[in-house]
Amino acid sequence: MIRQDKRHVVILGAGVIGLTIAHVITTRHPSSFRVTIVARDLPEDISQAFASPWAGANWAPRGPYDPRIYKMEYTTFNKFWNMGALGLTCNVPSRIYFTKEVDVKTIWYKNLVRNFRVLSPEEVPCPFKGGISYSTITVNPQKYLPWLKADLTSRGVLFVRQQIHNIDDAAELAGPNGIVFNATGLGARSLIGVEDPKVYPVRGQTITVLAPDVKQCVAWPVLESPAPNGDTAYMIPRPAPHGHVLLGGTYQEDNWDTSIDFNIARRIWKRATELVPALNTEKTKIISHNVGLRPARKGGPRIELEWLKLPVVKQSLEDIRLKTSTYSGSGYQCSWGAAEEAVELLSEL
Ligand code: FAD
């Protein structure tokens, strides 16, 4: 039964970040808060208006070592690893190829991923010069997001489909003494009262194929000269449906275009079939072409506490505690660590 004296938490956004924040709150503080998730797009939607359905959702190192991000990724890696027993995540063998020999000192994640080793020259395909192999985690968003929603619903979390235009409206929904978590991803750029100009999209285009023989994740450098702007190269076998593989992709900063670019699709296909010629058979079927916009933020994720004084509300002037959180390009990979950091702010209230 919901106790009326519980403080009301409104989480704005039902992508992987909003859902994970709700999970951490209801796990750590099962009887202190009443939680409502308010979002324009809900976990079951396959909508290009939010990022979470489109992710490769693979735990893969990105960029140089950053202690703050590493902490989030470390927490999330271990959490995802343990979720394998529930069938929500999948442990997959992975390889990364490089255009030069591997300098192990620069591989900051070697003690975090499992079964790490440097590939012998015979294991590295031409024209690459070095490679590594390790086990990592892949999540299937189409299964994982609905699971999070179902689990949260069983904990009493309410889901409301609503677009919010002004952060004050969310604060009003939270009511007196309420708390708002802002997990709107790219929405933080235009949400009145937040309007974070550092938030920008990173366009990701992929192809989903049926290719049951592809069993490992691979990432490799784009070799064309000059390299087409924003192209990347990877393949990720999906935990389910069986045999589905995501071929990628692009990392196009500040590009808002959600339509499919078939020139990019051709390049993705060409690179994938050059690396794995076995893909280029009649057995491989194209399931879909996909485009999603990753929310990113210059300067990194924003996890901080803000106090919002509402203008005129029904009862009186109220202080509303507002937590704003916006995340960078790899939202799944940071999700549990970032949510824990955000929820720790509750203790400051
Ligand atoms: P979103 O999923 O965008 O959710 C935002 C939520 O806020 C939605 O519910 C939306 O409806 C709601 N909202 C926004 N504005 C409003 C408003 N005004 N009112 C009400 N609701 C609002 N990440 C990884 O970790 N690993 C990967 O391998 C990976 N691969 C990717 C590949 C591609 C092609 C793409 C596109 C993304 C990939 N990502 C990956 C990134 C990952 O998908 C995102 O970082 C993550 O989904 C962001 O989650 P989020 O909850 O912050 O935002």
Q: pLDDT tier at 5 (50, 70, 90 boundaries)?
A: confident
CA 274/CA 285 separation, integer angstroms: 17
Q: pLDDT tier at 248 (50, 70, 90 boundaries)?
A: very high
Residue among 16, 202, 207, 252 to mutate when testing ligand 1 (max atoms within 8 A of CB): 16
Lookup: tokens for 61: 């190192």
- For 84, other C-beta atoms within 10 Å of its C-beta total 13
53 lines ligand 1 (CB under 6 A): no
Q: Return the residue whose CA atom lies nearest to atom 32 of ligand 1.
A: 55
230 lines ligand 1 (CB under 6 A): no
Q: pLDDT tier at 4 (50, 70, 90 boundaries)?
A: low
Q: Are strands 89-98 and 130-139 parallel, antiparallel or unpaired?
A: antiparallel
Residue 317 has a pLDDT of 36
Where along the chain do the CATH 3.30.9.10 domains lie? 89-139+200-296
- The pLDDT tens digits of the residues spanning 170-187 come to 999 999 889 999 999 999
Amino acid, single-letter form, for residue 309: K
Q: pLDDT tier at 264 (50, 70, 90 boundaries)?
A: very high
147: pLDDT strictly greater than 50: yes
Report helix angle 331-344 to 67-83, nearest 10. 110
Q: Return the residue whose CA atom lies nearest to atom 36 of ligand 1.
A: 292
> What is the dihedral angle through the alpha carbons of 295, 301, 303, 308, rounded to the nearest 10 degrees?
-60
Residue 316 has a pLDDT of 32
CA 242/CA 258 separation, integer angstroms: 27
Q: pLDDT tier at 311 (50, 70, 90 boundaries)?
A: low
- Reduced to 3 states (helix: H, G, I; strand: E, B; else coil), residue 296 is strand
57 lines ligand 1 (CB under 6 A): yes
Record the pTM.
0.94
CA 149/CA 9 separation, integer angstroms: 16
| Cα(136) to centroid(ligand 1), Å | 21
Average pLDDT over residues 157-181: 94
Element (H, E) at 340: helix 331-344
Q: pLDDT tier at 328 (50, 70, 90 boundaries)?
A: low
279 lines ligand 1 (CB under 6 A): no
Average pLDDT over residues 313-340: 65
- For 179, other C-beta atoms within 10 Å of its C-beta total 23
Q: What is the CATH number of domain 89-139+200-296?
A: 3.30.9.10
Lookup: tokens for 324: 């704003």
Where along the chain do the CATH 3.40.50.720 domains lie? 7-53+142-198+298-348
CA 156/CA 18 separation, integer angstroms: 15
Residue 59 has a pLDDT of 93
Average pLDDT over residues 143-155: 96
25: pLDDT strictly greater than 50: yes
Phi/psi at 246 (5° precision): -95, 125
CA 16/CA 148 separation, integer angstroms: 9
Mean pLDDT, rounded, of the chain:
90
Known binding residue 74? Answer is no
CA 321/CA 240 separation, integer angstroms: 40
319: pLDDT strictly greater than 60: no
278: pLDDT strictly greater than 80: yes
Q: Is 216 exposed, middle or buried (0-12, 13-18, 19+ CB in 10 A)?
A: middle
65: pLDDT strictly greater than 60: yes
Residue 310 has a pLDDT of 63
| Cα(301) to centroid(ligand 1), Å | 13
Residue among 167, 332, 335, 336 to mutate when testing ligand 1 (max atoms within 8 A of CB): 332
| Cα(13) to centroid(ligand 1), Å | 9
Pick the CATH number of 7-53+142-198+298-348 from 3.40.920.10, 1.10.3720.10, 3.40.50.720, 3.20.20.140: 3.40.50.720
Half-sphere CA count of 121, side-chain side, radius 13 A: 3
Phi/psi at 233 (5° precision): -140, 120
327: pLDDT strictly greater than 60: no
Sheet arrangement for strand 158-161: 158-161, 33-39, 7-12, 179-182, 319-326, 302-309
Whether the CB-CB separation of 88 and 143 falls below 8 Å is answered with: yes
- The pLDDT tens digits of the residues spanning 226-246 come to 788 899 999 999 877 889 999
CA 316/CA 299 separation, integer angstroms: 37
Q: What percent of the chain has pLDDT over 70?
A: 93
CA 153/CA 173 separation, integer angstroms: 19
Size of the chain, expressed as the number of residues it contains: 349
184 lines ligand 1 (CB under 6 A): yes
Residue 320 has a pLDDT of 47
